[in-house]
Structure formats: C-alpha cells, structure tokens
Structure 1
Amino acid sequence: MTLPEDRVGYDPETKTYYAQFDTATLIPTIIQSVAAVTGKPSQELDPLYEVIDPDALEKLFDNPRHNSPEHEGVYVSFKFASCKLSVSWDGEIRITPPHDVDIIE
C-alpha cells in the first residue's frame, strides 16, 4: 500500500500524528513535525543525530515509494524530543507525543 503524497494528520483513536515524506524531505519532515506536535520551535529541539544517525536513516529509506518491493515491511522506531516515532517503508512517519502534550484535534 502506498500512501498519498504530502499526507499529514492526526488519528484520535491512537492519539498519533502522521506525516508523509520523500527521500529529500525525511529529516526536515521529522524535525518540523515533532516541533509542531510538541509546540517547540525546531531550533530548540535537541539534535536528531543524538538519537539516530540521520544519514543511515535516509539511506535506509532511499526512494521509499518507488522501491517498495525491497523495503516492504521495513520500519524504524525511536524516541526524539520525548515523542515516539516510527518511520515506515511507505513514506509515513507516525509520531506519538508524550503524555504531557496537549492534543489539538
């Protein structure tokens, strides 16, 4: 299954935000999305490289929508800025905010 381009939203059942990325925007999308979810400016977040190697992450998900047979089922989960993130083979980033963040629906 391939998700539509530029999909962004919130799932109230799982209390999870999601965003869509492509290879060129993976790292900026992660940082901007986490900043939006936590309500912190992106420059106030700790560097992403302190929790995961951004180059390795980009290489793993290089061209996710076009290489889906090779990547199908692959995802990486990690914590960043107190959020739980899951980056998936199909170009989706799921962000579960910490419990102390007010959810805007």
Structure 2
Amino acid sequence: MAITDPSEEDIIYQRNVERANDLIPEVVTALTTVTGQTPREIGPLNEAVDPDALLTLFSRQDSGLIKFELADCHVTVYADGKITVEEIDNIES
C-alpha cells in the first residue's frame, strides 16, 4: 500500500507482513512498486542484505530493525514485519 499521509511523505511504500515466507517476496515487491523496475533490474537482494538475517529478525518479532539500500532506495524491515521503502532522492532533497 502506498502512503499518502503528509506526515509520512518520504515513505512511499509501507506494508506489514504476517508470515515469514512472505517477507523476502514482499521486500522485492516493495522495491519494484517504488522504482518501477523488474526484480532483475533491481539486482540481487542478497548483495544488499543477508536474507537469513531478515528472517531471523522477523521470527523473533520482539524489537529491532534492519536497514539497507538497494535500487536507489532506503529499505527498513522491522521485527514486527513492517517494511518501509523511501527513495533516496526524496530523502536528500
């Protein structure tokens, strides 16, 4: 779901994931939605972040987050399954 709340205008994609199996595909979906690129154009997720670390974080579901950059975006994955994506250009301007 795209965010349109002005208080969160830098965050252009936010989604909550409920199942571990959905986490990695949802991160890829978030990036393709924001950038308009295909998964192949975005590049391998594992070059930006360790997918096992994301799954470990999610499986604990207490607190914490992992941030990384890929496809000119800042991606944050929270332990509770929340994923946010911000375009780097939107943050720096």
Q: Which moved more, 1:31-40 or 1:91-100?
A: 91-100
TM-score w.r.t. structure 1 length?
Answer: 0.72
Distance 2:30 2:42 in 1: 11
Shift of 1:20: 1.4
Q: Tell me the amino acid that sits aligned with residue 16 of structure 2.
A: Q
Q: Is the 8 A contact 1:85 1:95 kept in 2?
A: yes
Moved over 6 A (4+): none
Is 1:50 the counterpart of 2:47? The answer is: yes
TM-score w.r.t. structure 2 length?
Answer: 0.80
Gaps of 5+ in 2: none
Shift of 1:63: 6.0
Deviations 1:42-92 (A, max 9, x none): 22211001011111211221163xxxxxx23x1111111110011112210
Deviations 1:1-49 (A, max 9, x none): xxxxxxx331443320201113111110000110110011122211001
Count of matched residue positions in the alignment of Structure 1 and Structure 2: 86
Gaps of 5+ in 1: 1-7, 65-70, 101-105
Q: Tell me the amino acid that sits aligned with residue 55 of structure 1.
A: D
Aligned residue runs from structure 1 range 29-68, under 5 A: 29-62=26-59, 64=61
Which one has the largest radius of gyration? 1
Q: Which moved more, 1:11-20 or 1:85-94?
A: 11-20
Q: State the percentage of identical aligned residues.
A: 31
Distance 2:75 2:41 in 1: 18
